[in-house]
Amino acid sequence: MVRLFVGLEIPENMRSALFDARGGVEGAHWQRDDQLHLTLAFIGDVPKRTFHEIEGELSRIVLTPFELSLRGVGLFGKPKQPKNLWAGVSDRAPLVHLHDKICHSLEMVGLEIDRRRYKPHVTLARFRRHAQARIGDWLTQHENLQTPSMTVEHFTLFSSQLTHEGSYYTVESRFGRALESEPEYEEDFGFAGLEPAW
């Protein structure tokens, strides 16, 4: 079995813009640079046979490149009992459209994907269950967060491994390059010509 999800890699200049926002809340477990990503669809544990079927279906998706930047912050959970803190996006529409395409492809191999209330974001911190924290000052301080933009030309199938030091993610495949003649992407995280992402 392999644990999978589909997402976008975050380039170095965008990760750097999130540096100051990853701090200042007691009890928060801040995401490392190599953990930062934007989830498009969570798959979960699948057998190897299904893994290859997933790759085949995702390879059929046509991706029209679009611009993406991160803007603003928020939380899931309650202000005094948060689950995680996140950075939002400047334009949800192209991400929701891509999310729907990916979900449809995954359903073609018999997977059940939760489509409800998809809210594209980049998780910045997680909290232990029932943790108490004061979030208000952090939300106010970073409400005007804005990162440089990136051109989304591909999306990524990741595998995930949970360890005592947190989750580690591996790029399994990339899909949706606009032109087949474009140079191959590097095998590490990130876009060609940029530092490794996530």
DSSP 131-145: -----HHHHHHTTT-
Q: Sorting pLDDT into bands at 50, 70 and 90, what band is 131?
A: confident
pLDDT in tens, 67-124: 999 999 999 999 889 999 999 999 999 999 999 999 999 999 999 988 788 999 999 9
Kindly report the average pLDDT of the chain as a whole number.
89
Please give the CATH topology (third level) of the domain spanning 2-175: Cyclic Phosphodiesterase; Chain: A, (3.90.1140)
pLDDT at position 166 is 84
pLDDT of 182 above 80:
no
Q: What is the mean pLDDT of the segment spanning 7-29? A: 96
User: Is the whole model's pTM more than 0.85, yes or no?
Assistant: yes
Provide the percentage of residues in the chain whose pLDDT is more than 70: 89
Contacts of residue 140, Cβ cutoff 8 Å, sequence gap at least 6: none
Strands 122-126 and 29-30: antiparallel
Domain ranges in the chain are: 2-175
**Per-residue confidence (pLDDT) for residue 165, from 0 to 100:** 80
The yes-or-no verdict on residue 181 having pLDDT over 50 is no
The pLDDT value given to residue 188: 40
Gap between the Cα atoms of 15 and 8, Å rounded: 13
Residue 33 DSSP one-character state: G
Query: What is the rounded average pLDDT of the residues 150-164?
Result: 95
